[in-house]
Amino acid sequence: MKLEKKDKSMLFSKTEIPDIFFTEYMSEASGDFIKVYLCILFLSKYDKDIKLNDLSKRLNIPLNIIQASLAYWEEHGVLTKKVNGYILNDLQEIELNKLYSPNLTLSVEDIKKSKDSKYRAKAIECINNMYFQGVMSPTWYSDIDLWFKKYKFDEQVMISLFDYCFNKSALHKNYVKTVADAWSKNNIKTYEDLELYYQKFEKLNKIKKSIAKKLGRYSPLTQFEEAYIEKWVVEYNYDLNVINIALKKTTSKANPSFDYLDKLISDWHDRNLKTETDVNNFLAEIKQKKKNIKQLEKQTNYNNYEQRNYDDLDNLYANKKVN
């Protein structure tokens, strides 16, 4: 006796999406990439053979975006390319393998200490409740545990990390890890370290706004212009008083460039001028030397040889644009 189940019509059929897609994949993928995935998931139930051009027309997405989508999902292990098409992989199985694959970078003692850490467990649970509404993916738990080990953040810093990314609407692993790397490079481990970092960051932002205002810039500074300012403040350790001296040198210029400012300030740094007084004394010395040379030219048949030695200084410190 053969029993058959009547196929449901399209009206009553449904396509199931694993929850892991929402917690692990959706936040990082673009809208078009998600549309392509959902369409492929739907078509895979019917073993359909569809051409990329047809898929492009069906979704109203350019062909190059379709191709980029397939490459993206293949890179993330969601699809596996075959000779004549793709296999749609099981997302739950992928995450299960990640979760239970042995991590050779951690010793048994490390893992035991991590599991026994009540404070860390509370911090992770706090992150789950505050930023994932209590439905954080299991793989986040192991990642956070590894970040505790790698960056040596205390519990407050780890919670602050997720709070920062959450407020930036960028709560996905790549962004969280990028921010964590940046904090680690700034030697942040405790909450006190983080507060000092924020203070420096706030000081830097105030200097950026002040410079933009003094230059009459109402549009946002470019990434390269901000990099210049960060170099002056963070690397050279100059405050706004020193930078203001350079800004005053631009008053006669119609379109003062950051390149010119950087040449000035870098010259001071190379000369080991550390304070506003050091810079002003140096500028006064240059001014006096030029004055002495002009007096010497009037009194003698001076061949201007020494003046030529100051050509670079003239180009840099005269009120004219440096090319």
For 81, the enclosing helix (H) or strand (E) is strand 79-82
Q: Encode pLDDT of 258-280 as tens digits.
A: 888 999 999 999 999 999 999 99
pLDDT of 173 > 60? The answer is yes
pLDDT at 5: 47
Q: Encode pLDDT of 184-199 as tens digits.
A: 988 999 999 999 888 8
Q: Angle at the Cα of 119 (from 118 to 121), degrees rounded to 5?
A: 65
Instruction: Report the chain's C-alpha Rg in angstroms.
Output: 31
Question: Which among 90, 28, 40 has a CA at the least distance from the CA of 66?
Answer: 40
Residues with Cβ within 8 Å of residue 42, at least 6 apart in sequence: 15
Domains along the chain with CATH numbers: 19-94 (1.10.10.10), 105-189 (1.10.10), 216-317 (no CATH)
If one counts every other C-beta atom within 10 angstroms of the C-beta of residue 311, the result is: 9
pLDDT of 283 > 50? The answer is yes
Q: How far is CA 211 from the centre of its chain?
A: 23
Name the least confident of 97-101, 133-137, 247-251, 308-312.
308-312
Spatial separation of the C-alpha atoms in residues 185 and 192, rounded to whole Å: 16
Spatial separation of the C-alpha atoms in residues 244 and 210, rounded to whole Å: 10
Q: Which two structure tokens, joined as six digits, stand for 167?
A: 């407020």
For 95, the enclosing helix (H) or strand (E) is helix 91-100
